[in-house]
Amino acid sequence: MNFWQKPVETLRELMQRKAPHLRQVRHFASAALEREVDIDLYLPPDYHLSGSRYYPLLIVNDGQDLPRMHFSSILERMFFRKQIPPLIVAGVHASAARMHEYGTMRQADYKGRGERAPLYGNFILEELLPMLHRRFRISGLREETAFAGFSLGGLSALDMVWTYPQIFGAAGVFSGSLWWRWSPVDPADPDADRIMHDIIRTTANVDSTQRFWFQCGTLDEDEDRNGNGVIDSIDDTLDLIAALKDKGFHEKHIRYLEIEGGLHTPDTWGKAMPDFLRWWLVPEWGD
């Protein structure tokens, strides 16, 4: 809006801005990971004015990618339009050890990657969450606690949510690396040995009130290991959704967003982010 053309309207809009407050936590010492962790905290615009209010919490893996998708602007726009309630977001930066710390806590993949995933889980549960609850007003309600991530970070987030249903009520998986497997691809059975699928199928007791959001882009990749004409990222995601339904999860607790022409990039994930936030924070949205 041009100030000189519509000065009153422009001033009114500026006064109503709902930009989140960004607080950077640098060099947070993690005993579990034996390294320092950088974290970006996105606080609600009214955080310092509402001393008694407690907020939902979203933890995001690969938090260093959030600025690349203009995450602050996404939150500001959604707050301003009252599309979502205020929340606190913790974007956890990945390190050079990303391929070792992300993955599934049950086991590493067939190349030994993800072997430090249990330590990363300990960091989230024993260090990050306690620090956030000490320093910020977080509700702690399970239905108001979610974990999201991109690519391998999405797999890690899903694994954490699935493993700790008493803490996390929802997962957001953007272009998740659900191909993660314990053996190389067997041409005779190319879809076998996917770790996260097996974890879901073999879990004895599940909490079917948990909620799961998945996104894929039709140009996430060009691999098609089973030759069915569907890229692997979409195949792996749809197969995992089928596994969730087989465990008793209702369709209303699962959402799949496929973006035509979507790439494996922060730009595409930024386009998908509003859908995830509304789906998680406004359960009746989309009904």
Give the chain's domains with CATH numbers. Answer: 19-281 (3.40.50.1820)
pLDDT tier for residue 49 given thresholds of 50, 70 and 90 = confident
Return the SS3 of 59: strand
- The helix (H) or strand (E) run that includes residue 241 is helix 232-246
pLDDT at 4: 54
**b/e per residue 200-217 (b: at least 16 CB within 10 A):** beeeeeeeeebbbbbbbb
What would the pLDDT profile of 103-127 be if each residue is shown by its tens digit?
999 999 999 999 999 999 999 999 9
Cα 146–chain centre separation: 7
For range 11-17, the mean pLDDT: 49
For range 182-207, the mean pLDDT: 97
pTM: 0.93
Q: Say how many residues make up the chain.
A: 287
Cβ proximity of 212 and 249 under 8 Å: yes
7 vs 168: CA distance, rounded Å: 46
Biggest CA pair distance of the chain: 69
For range 251-279, the mean pLDDT: 97
pLDDT at 11: 43
For range 85-96, the mean pLDDT: 97
Which is higher by pLDDT, 12 or 53? 53
**Terminal-to-terminal C-alpha distance of the chain:** 34
Q: What percent of the chain has pLDDT over 70?
A: 93
For range 48-70, the mean pLDDT: 94
Return the SS3 of 269: helix
For range 173-177, the mean pLDDT: 98
**145-150 and 211-219 beta bridge pairing:** unpaired
**Over 50: is that where the pLDDT of 178 sits?**
yes
pLDDT at 9: 59
Collect all residues with Cβ–Cβ distance below 8 Å to 8 and sequence separation of at least 6: none
- Calculate the alpha carbon distances from 185 to 152, 178, 188, 236, 268 in Å: 18, 14, 9, 13, 28
**What is the chain's mean pLDDT, rounded?**
94
Query: What's the angle, vertex CA 116, arms to CA 181 and CA 60, rounded to 5?
Result: 85
243 vs 197: CA distance, rounded Å: 7
pLDDT at 246: 97
